A and B are shown apart, each in its own frame.
Chain A
């Protein structure tokens, strides 16, 4: 297995874990991924599928904006089988939105995001179903990915380099001896048996469950679990992604995909990510928001209503909660080495976005490699990923 390097266990097969597994395998590590359910069954699977251009963050979070556009351009090259590349718009619905345009364009320029201003007439010609009440807009290089296949591509590529991907295997505990991480205790949910997997390091990429995984080793992962409601309808209203030309808020993005459109999202906080009840008023708000862009949206039959917790980077110490505070939290990510907490070799990753998961993986694997004394250059910027289906055709099951 692998290229003779140290053995790293990755907990979680969402976009973060999948990209980390691929990066590790490409640098010659031996890799085992353990995932308690199906690939992408947590936060990643239920995300919006928006390949960010970064424009959404251009004004509020310039670092995230720059990362997004850089990763967007890389993914176009390494994921040829997984992207709808039609671009996106930021559209003004009110005079206040139009006033925001200059700030928005300056933010995009500073982050290196290409833009093109469009008049109301141009927009309505390109997207005839847009509300005639729109005032104007800006085109940006947004795109659409399929979250599930996004993960499968990374995992298929990792598998081709010897990684073992154990789905339906749940981590019950991170094993620590003498201040050092030795592996994980896992429940094989297929056969209903326990197994111990020894490892030189463990990367905890369990998303909203990362705090629970770390807690088994007596470690703390500061997390804010911030779900959002998304709704799909069975009509494709636009060729391109539609965003509201305004600072980030509720119901400001409609992502088209195949013959559907998906509106999102809201934001609130929860304590438990396992089962998230959908607040009915959020559904109403989303349908109204869709109606503002596309007359008739409200009356469309729904094709899925769902919410899942974003695992946002939380404060190190307890911090007072206030309305809307989770939106202000950076969309950046954190990789915490739990050495000071007595679990050297356990790394927990939180935050980030699927669009930037390759970059997160690069940073995490740099850190893990440095600590293990196995430093190899990252190669994921140019390595073209395998088609997602290969995950199933070339499965190496234990």
Chain B
């Protein structure tokens, strides 16, 4: 069976005074995802439409946008989440510089992730402090400790969903704070004091008002709000210890 949706898509390009919406009706298989519908609009109806995408399975984090106001990775959002024959509104992420249509600039977001020195590779089992010094053997032993990509896809959905990110322009944001917590739990060769100092300020850990929208939006089991709350409890102690060790 096929699924028919009308996509009401946000349009804007540099020079436009204000954004506007274009409507496109597409028919896709009912197994399709919203990203497939957007790609079909581009392929068959409007080649000028600009949108971000790469992996189509929630691994790269590039396709983040809003469907009917909710932050989504359209690559894993089934079209059947919306009634057959309905109109869905597609908007770019909020709180990011807009480049064109649905494309946003990941620069400021990436700077925040760099500020907390986030490294996406974990060389350790769950919860065990990192032992990055030991390079994994080419052919792992049976009891080898797993290496894993961090769950955070750096997709930016949490920042778009965060009400504080909309009012405090320099706020580090939930992704970077959650990343900082991971780096403090598993330092991966990074100086914990540097991580702590990157978040211990008015535009960092202490800016969050606890709306928890970030955790609701996260497509990848990161739960940034819980990480921020944990950091508020033990972070100052970690910072204090790190400072004493440096002396």
Contacts and interface: CB of A to CB of B under 8 A. Distances in A.
A240 B61 CA distance: 23
Given A168-B103, A392-B106, 14 more contacts: A40-B55, A41-B54, A46-B55, A49-B59, A86-B144, A147-B59, A168-B50, A168-B99, A189-B50, A191-B15, A232-B57, A275-B44, A306-B57, A391-B110
A278 B121 contact: no
Contacts of A73: 138
Contacts of A230: 57
Nearest to A144: B149
A246 interface: no
A39 to B, nearest CB: 7
Interface residues of B, number: 57
Interface string A305-319: 110000000000000
Interface in A77-93: 80-87
Interface of A: 37-41, 44-46, 49, 73, 76, 80-87, 114-116, 122, 125-126, 139-141, 144, 146-149, 168, 189-192, 230, 232, 239-240, 257-260, 262, 274-275, 277-278, 280, 283, 303-306, 387, 389-393, 395
Main secondary structure of the interface of B (DSSP, over half): loop
Interface of B: 13-15, 29, 31-33, 39-40, 43-44, 48, 50-62, 75-76, 99-100, 103, 105-107, 109-111, 113-114, 118-121, 136, 138-140, 142, 144, 146-151, 154, 220-221
Contacts of B136: 85
A149 B60 contact: yes
Contact of A141 (B39, B55, B107, B139): B139
B238 to A, nearest CB: 24
Contacts of A393: 107, 110-111, 114
A393 B113 CA distance: 10
Contacts of A189: 48, 50, 100
B57 A389 contact: no
Contacts of A395: 105, 107
